[in-house]
Amino acid sequence: MRSVSSYFLRLSETSFEPTEHVGGAWNPDEQHIAPVLGLLAHVVERDHATRRPDLPLALTRASYDILGVIPMEAFAISTRVVRPGRTIELVEATLSHGGRAAVTLRAWMLQQSDTATIQGSPLPHMPARETLTDWSPADVWPGGAIRSIDSRREAVGTGRSRCWIRPQHPLLADEPVSSRARMLGMVDFANGIATRVAPDEALYPNVDLSASIFREPAGEWFGLDTSVSFGADGTGLTESVLSDEAGPLGTSSQTLTVRRR
């Protein structure tokens, strides 16, 4: 693992190496899943652009399943088209370490068209970024990934927060990455910005993440209006409205496994 100003280094067309900025919050010796999810989205978009340069489609739903932990070591990503099409395509990407699948992504890629005259959303808007207070998530969580984001946060109540965040580093050095992939590389932080209990009281990692995006994100900052719920039987749910400075642009959901320490 080398110390550089990006989350990952590309080793080949299909293999990557994490940098110090990917260290996990539950265990700094394991990769935080947030940047990993952004990288998977980027690989899917890059694969589609390479295969079909004549047919641009937008990644509008990303559904990730987290199958296991990923050590801070090199890994591989493979892709396959599950459902090809000219207007709708379903693509699957799998991240593997040591021959073991650790994360899968199923991404719906949809054709874009002009619907400007009927656009709109009733989803709640985030407060203006300048009205929120600078917040250091590293005061609560360990790991390089947590230290790699800037954030401004409003704690609304137990398990409820609104937070503006931005990455301090690109996903990959010297490689353009879309705003959608950049944002998907930040969404998993939602589970750590609206805590119901401190991480030294309980473990509550997510086993999945599903995000739907209905327009292109813009700008460096992304908004998370997040609610965290715990049931009485060891399961939980983190839900967020995703925004940029122009307003809401999608939602995300994470299923949690909750265990008291």
Every domain of the chain and the residues it spans: 8-112+130-260
In 3D, which of 237, 226, 69, 63 has the Cα closest to residue 151?
226
CA 76, CA 142: separation in Å to the nearest integer? 26
Percent of the chain with pLDDT over 90: 95
- pLDDT per position as a tens digit, 70-105: 999 999 999 999 999 999 999 999 999 999 999 999
Average pLDDT, integer, range 168-178: 95
Residue 5 has a pLDDT of: 87
Burial environment of residue 3 by CB neighbours within 10 A (0 to 12, 13 to 18, 19 or more): exposed
Residue 1 has a pLDDT of: 47
In 3D, which of 180, 176, 168 has the Cα closest to residue 144?
168
Across the chain, mean pLDDT equals 96
Task: Out of 2.40.160.210, 3.40.190.10, 3.40.630.30, 2.60.120.260, select the CATH number for domain 8-112+130-260.
Answer: 2.40.160.210
- 216 pLDDT band, cuts 50/70/90, is very high
pLDDT at position 10 over 70: yes
